[in-house]
Copies of this chain bind each other. A is one copy, B any other.
Amino acid sequence: GAVRAGAVPPGQGAERVAAFVDAVFAIAMTLLAVELPRPPAELIEGDQTRPVMAARLWDFLGDNWGTWLAFVIAFLILGGVWREHHRTLDLVSRVTPRMMWWHVPLLLVVVLLPYASALIGETVANPLAVCLFAGAVAALLLTQAGLLRAVVRDGALRPEADARELRVRAGTLAVVGAFWLLTAGLTWLVDGVTPLWLL
């Protein structure tokens, strides 16, 4: 039976799904920074002159450029997907079970992204680390595309919303996701794939 105003079945209200997803994204984005490598105290302080200390910290930060690149990319992509999710939930009248299922892989990847980011931060040269990171980003984009498709298929859109616009956005997400999947594969063939991500 219909329990809430607007005949939204219990457990399908979009507000609480939004609040939960917000929290997971916010925590994952903040944890990205927790994974950043800390300089060992003895390296950057001590009996040295101030310019030497500064130079050592500078070198330390520079040596870990892979981490910082992964951090910024992961931050921007999580932010972008959150924004996409926000816009999507504003367009739907309820969260159907199928849409809920798409949240399982979506949030699983969000939660794993800081781990993948820390892995690539440890070593940009390791092809498996690069492949896992690119694969996680691809999975994030593709599950978000799947979520958009589920919205259209289940007819969960509000009456005034435009299904075609949603399909276009799902297509864009799928294409960008496929690009990341491609770089994940390329990793095994050539060496310097990471610069491609700056596109």
Q: Is A32 positioned at the interface, with any CB of B under 8 Å from its CB?
A: yes
Least CB distance, A71 to chain B, in whole angstroms: 9
Given A2-B160, A57-B129, 20 further pairs, Cβ under 8 A: A3-B90, A3-B158, A4-B90, A10-B91, A11-B83, A13-B86, A16-B90, A19-B19, A20-B25, A20-B26, A29-B107, A29-B111, A33-B112, A38-B118, A41-B122, A45-B126, A50-B126, A54-B128, A57-B128, A72-B108
Within 8 A of B (CB), among A66-80: 72, 75-76, 79
User: In the complex, which residues of chain B have a beta carbon less than 8 angstroms from the beta carbon of A10?
Assistant: 87, 90-91, 161
Cα–Cα distance between A128 and B106 once the two chains are bound (Å) = 33
Within 8 A of B (CB), among A126-169: 126-129, 158, 160-162
Chain A 106-121 interface mask (CB, 8 Å, partner B; 1/0): 0110011011001100
User: In the complex, which residues of chain B have a beta carbon less than 8 angstroms from the beta carbon of A182?
Assistant: none
CB pair B57–A83 under 8 Å, yes or no, is: no
Cα–Cα distance between A91 and B2 once the two chains are bound (Å) = 10
Query: Among the interface residues A16, A28, A107, which one has the most CB atoms of the partner chain B within 10 A?
Result: A16
Number of interface residues of A (CB under 8 A): 71
Least CB distance, A4 to chain B, in whole angstroms: 7
CB pair B111–A13 under 8 Å, yes or no, is: no
CB pair A100–B115 under 8 Å, yes or no, is: no
